């Protein structure tokens, strides 16, 4: 019988790509999502790619009674991948309680449910934001956790602590926290991708929206960093590569290959690109000219962040493979596809 995985936030950006990879690998998938930051039509995209429609329930995981009723019915879950959370760093500064409430209560409800209903494995979406402005590059998993510079970042740090403390007294539970660097791009079919609401905060959706004419120009935040071209450096990882790491992590837990009950891994490419390098790669990959201007630095931005991926590569037997230009082209094809559908 196929293994059954619950994916919370499975109609979201990273969740939907992971559902596709899980289904491609023969897993059965149930999605719970309250559609607070995604659309039900994502299920059509998943079905288009995989030829199967995942089972979907729409509710808020902060609703503990509803979650427990669900877990009572689906007693045979082999594992959970927990994506559901709010993720906008800037918004979290203005609405801290909304972030603490959603991101922490959902996790605590799930962990309680796992204990009550004997679900043993959870993969948790963490973030490179837990490292803040790193002292050393590339960033290894041993880098110190810095005081979070946003309530959002703090929810990821606290979540990791909550998982660690819960596992220490519930030895049947296993967790893997995956610390993503900068996920970008879309599925090569252009059937699923990122669907930002309003003006995007993140670089790549802003680039694609500018190139297609929704935005006038990209503002490059700062060219006075201590980097070769003065713009900030990040580790941009293709979302399909990222999704595959979740499948590998689930299998690692199911095959009992974990070295400890709580493991965490960096998910990046190991290579940093500056904002202007991303702009140039986008132009080269798509043949589009991008209008941009240099403006002041964005408050709270780090100068350079990129992952040391050796530990994840070795332990998980996983490596990000898709290059920057191919990834940016996938984001562009997705952008064109969404605009065509409107």
Q: How far is the CB of 219 from ligand WQD (least distance, A)?
A: 5
- Among 57-65, 138-146, 217-225, 240-248, which window interacts with ligand WQD (CB under 6 A)? 217-225
When the beta carbons of 155 and 333 are compared against ligand WQD, the nearer one is 155
d(CA 287, CA 284): 6
Binding site for ligand NAD (CB under 6 A): 8-9, 11-15, 32-38, 60-62, 83-85, 87, 102, 106, 125, 127, 180, 183
How many residues comprise the chain?
Answer: 342
Q: Which of 52, 53, 298, 310 binds ligand WQD (CB under 6 A)?
A: 298
- The token pair that represents 190 in the structure block: 């252009």
166 scored as a contact of ligand WQD (CB under 6 A) = no
How many CB atoms neighbour CB 65 within 10 A? 8
| Catalytic residue IDs | 152
What's the CA dihedral at 6, 8, 10, 14 to 10 degrees?
-110
Counting contacts by CB under 6 A, is residue 331 touching ligand WQD? Answer: no
Q: Which residue's C-beta sits nearest to ligand NAD? A: 12
Q: Are 262 and 175 in contact (CB under 8 A)?
A: yes
Task: Work out the angle at residue 314's Cα, subtended by the Cα atoms of residues 313 and 317, and round it to the nearest 5 degrees.
Answer: 65
The two three-digit tokens of residue 230, written as one number: 């003065």
Contacting residue, 112, 202, 280, 337, with ligand WQD by CB under 6 A: 202
DSSP H or E stretch at residue 264: strand 262-267
The span of 18-26, 200-208, 255-263, 333-341 binding ligand WQD (CB under 6 A) equals: 200-208
**Inter-residue contact 55 to 10 (CB < 8 Å):** no
Q: Which of residues 18-37 bind ligand WQD (CB under 6 A)?
A: none
Nearest to 279 by CA among 270, 268, 292, 269: 292
* Cβ partners under 8 Å of residue 257, min gap 6: none
Q: Which stretch binds ligand WQD (CB under 6 A): 3-11, 19-27, 55-63, 212-220?
A: 212-220
- Size of the residue set binding ligand WQD (CB under 6 A): 18
**Which residue's CB is nearer to ligand WQD, number 219 or number 271?**
219
- Does position 220 bind ligand WQD by CB under 6 A? yes
Which candidate, 186, 176, 167, 191, places its Cα nearest to that of 255? 176
Return residues touching ligand WQD (CB under 6 A): 87, 89, 127, 129, 182, 201-203, 206, 218-221, 232, 234, 275, 298, 301
């Amino acid at each position: 019988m196929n293994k059954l995985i619950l994916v919370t936030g499975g109609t979201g950006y990273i969740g939907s790509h992971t559902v596709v990879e899980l289904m491609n690998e023969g897993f059965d998938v149930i999605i719970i999502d309250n559609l607070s930051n995604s659309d039900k039509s994502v299920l059509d995209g998943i079905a288009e790619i995989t030829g199967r429609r995942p089972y979907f329930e729409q509710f808020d995981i902060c609703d503990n009674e509803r979650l427990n009723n669900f877990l009572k019915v689906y007693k045979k879950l082999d594992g959970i991948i927990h994506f559901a959370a709010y993720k906008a760093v800037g918004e979290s500064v203005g609405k801290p309680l909304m972030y603490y409430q959603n991101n922490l209560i959902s996790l605590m409800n799930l962990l309680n449910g796992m204990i009550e209903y004997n679900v043993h494995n959870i993969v948790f979406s963490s973030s490179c934001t837990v490292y803040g402005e790193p002292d050393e590059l590339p960033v290894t998993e041993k880098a110190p956790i810095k005081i979070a510079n946003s309530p959002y970042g703090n929810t990821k740090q606290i979540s990791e602590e909550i998982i660690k403390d819960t596992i220490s007294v519930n030895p049947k539970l296993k967790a893997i926290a995956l610390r993503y660097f900068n996920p970008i791009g879309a599925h090569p079919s252009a059937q699923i991708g990122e669907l930002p609401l309003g003006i995007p905060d993140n670089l790549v959706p802003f680039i694609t929206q500018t190139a297609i004419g929704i935005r006038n120009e990209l503002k490059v935040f700062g060219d006075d960093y201590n980097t070769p071209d003065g713009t900030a450096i990040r580790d941009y990882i293709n979302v399909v590569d990222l999704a595959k790491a979740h499948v590998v992590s689930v299998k690692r837990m199911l095959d009992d290959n974990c070295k400890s009950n709580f493991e965490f891994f960096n998910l990046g490419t190991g290579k940093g690109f500056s904002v202007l390098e991303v702009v140039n790669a986008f132009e080269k990959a798509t043949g589009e000219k991008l209008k941009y201007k240099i403006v002041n630095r964005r408050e709270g931005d780090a100068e350079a962040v990129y992952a040391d991926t050796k530990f994840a590569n070795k332990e998980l037997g996983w490596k990000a493979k898709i290059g920057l230009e191919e990834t940016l082209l996938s984001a562009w094809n997705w952008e064109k596809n969404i605009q065509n559908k409107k």
